[in-house]
Structure 1
Amino acid sequence: MNILQALFFPPEQPGGVSSMVPYIQERFNKMNWQMELFSLPKRIRGKGQENIVFDTFDVKSFEDSPIIDKYLQTYRDYIWWTRMRINKSYDLIHAHHPIAGLVMKQLFPDTPVLMTIHSSYEQELILNGKIEAGGPEHRFLTSIYRELETKMDRLMTVSQSFRSYLSPYLQQPEQVKVIANGFDEKRFRPISHESQVTQLITVCRLVPAKGLDILLKACAELKKRGNPFVLHIIGDGPIRKELEQLAVELDLYDEIIFYGYMLHPEEFMPFFDIFVLPSRAEAFGSVFAEAALCWLALVGTNVGGIAEQIEDGVNGLLVPPEDPIALCEALEKLISDPIYRYNMARSAWDKAKKDYSLQRVISQLKQVYSEAKKQ
């Protein structure tokens, strides 16, 4: 079978999708299933000129919003680039972004197109203060889900909680198949080490949705209570300067290191002790599984896919979002008791090896691909 994986971001970009799909491609190619990757380069902007029509709603009612206009132009650019670059047919296309899925179905209507919805762009925009809940951008982006349901040959997503999130926007949400992300275990090599001072690490894009302001406030409380630690922040984004300023205001300058963007943070993570990320929303949260495979103790918020990965007090600790004191107390529990921390990390590693192996994803996708090809 000849399969195209249609991404939005190039595979070298950070994130769960980009870090997983190239390894899926490698495994399938070894099984003699031909698989190629396709994405829109960042340099392609403003090239597409085609009129866009959706079947399930009138896009003209959403004009005059810069965010929607940019989304639609990106849609046009994806059409332009796809026409330019793809001159062969495929047995099946698996898209990983709504624009990729809709464009592929438009240009290759006779080819089965499957779509995995990995995250909620509208939730991210709301949490990052870019749009208002219930506003035109929110309504436009949630309308896309019904369009996908109508046009895709199969819809998938990455967690039960995110399927529940999608439910109000779909007619048959029970038809959405859940395939959690998986990770190539060979990428992760836990390293035995002893830290004189507990080393905390977080890896994410520096945007409000990730709750790093809450993390810094929790760390200020940790310091106030006399708990020694160092927090390592890997990632970059629009609020980096704000976070650096907040660290200074909270007297955390000596306890925090900002590293910026790093392509393969999993090579760095095994040298630390606790992974913490107090996201305000998360469809899956791939970085938690990656940290678990590095044998780190996990602390996350009780939201979305994080709560499906962590059973509180068994393989990590869950806290409510927006609660720096609860987050501080969870971190304090792990910092003050290395044996407890080790047991949490071991349990997290056991679960990640069992539930988030890449081989499990390969087996599930093989079945889905075979079923789609027969239809």
Structure 2
Amino acid sequence: MNILQALFFPPEQPGGVSSMIPFILDRFNKRGWEMELFSLPKRVRGKGTEPVKFATFDWEMYAGNPIVDKYIQTYKDYVWWTKLRITKSYDVIHAHHPIVGLVMKQLYPDTPVIMTVHSSYEKELILNGKIEPNGVEHAFLTSIYCELEDKVDQLLTVSNSFKQYLGEFVQEPERIGVIPNGFDEKRFRPVPHENKIPQLITVCRLVPAKGIDILLLACAELKKSGQAFVLHLIGDGPIRPELEQMAIELNIYEEIIFYGYMLHPEDFMPFFDVFVLPSRAESFGSVFAEAALCGLALIGTDVGGIPEQIIHGQNGLLVPVDDVAALTNALEKVTGDPTYRYNLSRIAWDKAKNTYSMSRVVQQLKTVYRSYRKEE
């Protein structure tokens, strides 16, 4: 079979999806499958001019809104770039962004298009203070899900929690499949090490949705209790200056290292002890599986797809969203008891290896792709 993996972001950019798909492609190609990547370069902006029309709703009722207009222009750009660059046919197209899925089905109506919805753009915008719940932008973006259901051949997502979320916006939620993200076992693996002072790490974009402000408040309480630690913050984003100032005011700046963006954090993630990320929303939370495969103890929030990865008290600790006291208590448990921390990390590694290995995900995808194999 000849399969196209169609991304929105180029694979060299950071992010769970764009960094994962090239490894999937490599696994398939090594097994004799024909598979290629396609994406929209950053430089392609404002090129598309073809009118956009949806079958399930009239997007023009939302026209004039900056976020909606940008979304539609990006759709037009993707149409323009796809027509320019794709010159062959494929047996199956696997899209990884709503714009991509809809464009591919518009241009290649006779080709099966599988669409994996990896995250919720509208929830991210709400949590980051960019749009209001139930506003114009929210209505437009959630209407896209029904359009996807109407157009593509198969809807997939990455967690049962996110399937439930999508189910509110489609007609037949039971038809949505779930295939969790997969991770290369050679890329993410434990490394023997011993740290005298517990080393905490988080990897994320520095935006309000990730809850790093709550983490800093909890770390301040941890310091007051007399527990030594170092927090490694890998990632960049619009609120980095605000977080750095907050760390200074909380008197924990000396305990924190702000690295900024890093292309391959997995290269030295295994040398730390605890991964902690108090997200306010996560469709799946790929970085938790990555950290588990690197042999770290996990602390996350009881939200989205995170509880599907962390069983509280067995392979990590879950805390409520925005609960500083609960997060502080969890940090005290894992930093103060190396044996407890090790046991959590060992079970987390075993669960992640069995559930989120790339080999397992490749087998699940093969089953989906083969269901669209053309009869000879």
Interval containing the TM-score (normalised by the shorter chain) = over 0.9
Cα separation, 2, equivalents of 1:63 and 1:37 = 32
Task: Map residues 145-160 of structure 1 onto 2, 5 A cutoff.
Answer: 145-160=145-160
Task: Flag as ranges the 4+ runs of structure 1 deviating above 4 A.
Answer: none
Task: Map residues 1-375 of structure 1 onto 2, 5 A cutoff.
Answer: 1-374=1-374
Give the secondary-structure state (helix, strand or coil) at the position aligned to 1:185. Answer: coil
Cα separation, 1, equivalents of 2:261 and 2:237 = 9
Q: Which amino acid aligns with 1:158?
A: V
Identity of aligned residues (%): 71
Q: Alpha-carbon deviations, 1:42-93, whole Å to 9, x = none?
A: 1111111111001000111101110111111111111111111101111110
Cα separation, 1, equivalents of 2:207 and 2:171 = 32
Q: Is the 8 A contact 1:79 1:103 kept in 2?
A: yes
Cα separation, 1, equivalents of 2:373 and 2:125 = 36
Q: Alpha-carbon deviations, 1:265-324, whole Å to 9, x = none?
A: 111101100000000000000000000000000000000111100000000000000011
TM-score (norm 1): 0.99
Give the secondary-structure state (helix, strand or coil) at the position aligned to 1:196. Answer: coil
Task: List alignment gaps of at least 5 residues for structure 1.
Answer: none
Cα separation, 2, equivalents of 1:192 and 1:175 = 44
Give the secondary-structure state (helix, strand or coil) at the position aligned to 2:103. Answer: helix
Give the deviation of 1:124 after TM superposition.
0.1
Task: List alignment gaps of at least 5 residues for structure 2.
Answer: none
Cα separation, 2, equivalents of 1:323 and 1:129 = 20
Give the secondary-structure state (helix, strand or coil) at the position aligned to 2:371. Answer: helix
Pick which of 65-74 and 188-197 moved more.
188-197
Q: Alpha-carbon deviations, 1:99-149, whole Å to 9, x = none?
A: 000000111111111000000000000000000000000000000000000
Cα separation, 2, equivalents of 1:303 and 1:189 = 26
Q: Is the 8 A contact 1:282 1:305 kept in 2?
A: yes
Give the deviation of 1:374 after TM superposition.
4.3
Give the secondary-structure state (helix, strand or coil) at the position aligned to 1:287. Answer: helix
Supply the RMSD in Å over aligned alpha carbons: 0.8
Cα separation, 2, equivalents of 1:287 and 1:59 = 34
TM-score (norm 2): 0.99
Cα separation, 1, equivalents of 2:135 and 2:227 = 44
Q: Is the 8 A contact 1:112 1:373 kept in 2?
A: no
Give the secondary-structure state (helix, strand or coil) at the position aligned to 1:365. Answer: helix
Q: Is the 8 A contact 1:153 1:372 kept in 2?
A: no
Give the secondary-structure state (helix, strand or coil) at the position aligned to 1:169. Answer: coil
